[in-house]
Amino acid sequence: MPLTCQSLLQAHPAPWDSATTHPFLAGCQSGTLHPAQFNTWLVQDFLFVKDFTRMVGRVLGAAPDDHIDGLLAGLGALKDELLWFEAKAAERSLNLSTSPQLTCQRYCEFMASLAARPYSVQATALWAIEYAYNQGWQLPGPMPEPYTEFADRWGNPGFTDYVHLLAAQADAALAIASPEVQAQAEAAFLQVADLEANFWQMAFTAAEAAQ
């Protein structure tokens, strides 16, 4: 049977749980997260999203014709998201002209490396990245202020629909991929899960190092 996004989730529940359930998100939901920890994450996530936007552009370049519209919609949303990040950083007096933490740098290097992979691998990684954000901000439940709009941005039904579209596109590509390429897609999924878990954790370790 061909590999699918759903079969990846079923085969690897523990890594995926680590990617989408973390004390950082629980702290947002409970209101106990230290502001410095959230600010660390916010700045690094802005740097991440800039490179993620470049990744989506590369995926678009490799995509079949019938996948272009959905990817273009995603790129349009990312333009708005980068402007939104800049506004949130300004509200918090944060400097976005900073260097990426090692965890962020590794994630960005991974995304750049996907350009050399087949489209089905790129599509699987794109779905996994977006789904991790979607689930991470949905699973804790309603978020109190000042985190409500962050949860709404990535946990809203429209974004969930977009993630489902990405899953369908990845599944279609995986259905015609060779076993070797499917193995690459599975490895990419697991690497996304590991990088996501480390990215949440970075908010604690980097903030502590800065104190």
Per-residue pLDDT of the chain (211 residues; tens, 9 = 90+): 779 999 999 999 999 999 999 999 999 999 999 999 999 999 999 999 999 999 999 999 999 999 999 999 999 999 999 999 999 999 999 999 999 999 999 999 999 999 999 999 999 999 999 999 999 999 998 899 999 999 999 999 999 999 999 999 999 999 999 999 999 999 999 999 999 999 999 998 865 544 4
Q: Domain for residue 210, yes or no? A: no
Q: Which of 86, 186, 196, 208 is catalytic?
A: 196
Q: Domain for residue 57, yes or no? A: yes
Q: Domain for residue 146, yes or no? A: yes
Q: Write the burial class of residue 199 (CB in 10 Å: 0-12 exposed, 13-18 middle, 19+ buried).
A: buried
Q: State the total domains in the chain.
A: 1
145 in a known ligand binding site: no
Q: Domain for residue 7, yes or no? A: no
pLDDT given for residue 211 in this prediction? 44
CA-based nearest residue to 8, from 162, 211, 183: 183
45 in a known ligand binding site: yes
Active site residue 91: no
Q: Domain for residue 1, yes or no? A: no
Q: Domain for residue 5, yes or no? A: no
Q: Write the burial class of residue 169 (CB in 10 Å: 0-12 exposed, 13-18 middle, 19+ buried).
A: buried
Q: Write the burial class of residue 35 (CB in 10 Å: 0-12 exposed, 13-18 middle, 19+ buried).
A: exposed
pLDDT given for residue 206 in this prediction? 66
Provide the CATH number for the domain around residue 197: 1.20.910.10
Q: Domain for residue 73, yes or no? A: yes
Q: Domain for residue 116, yes or no? A: yes
CA-based nearest residue to 1, from 184, 190, 177: 177
Angstrom CA distances, 98 to 53, 109, 120, 174, stand at 18, 17, 33, 38
Task: Write out the residue range of the structural domain in which residue 19 sits.
Answer: 14-25+33-205
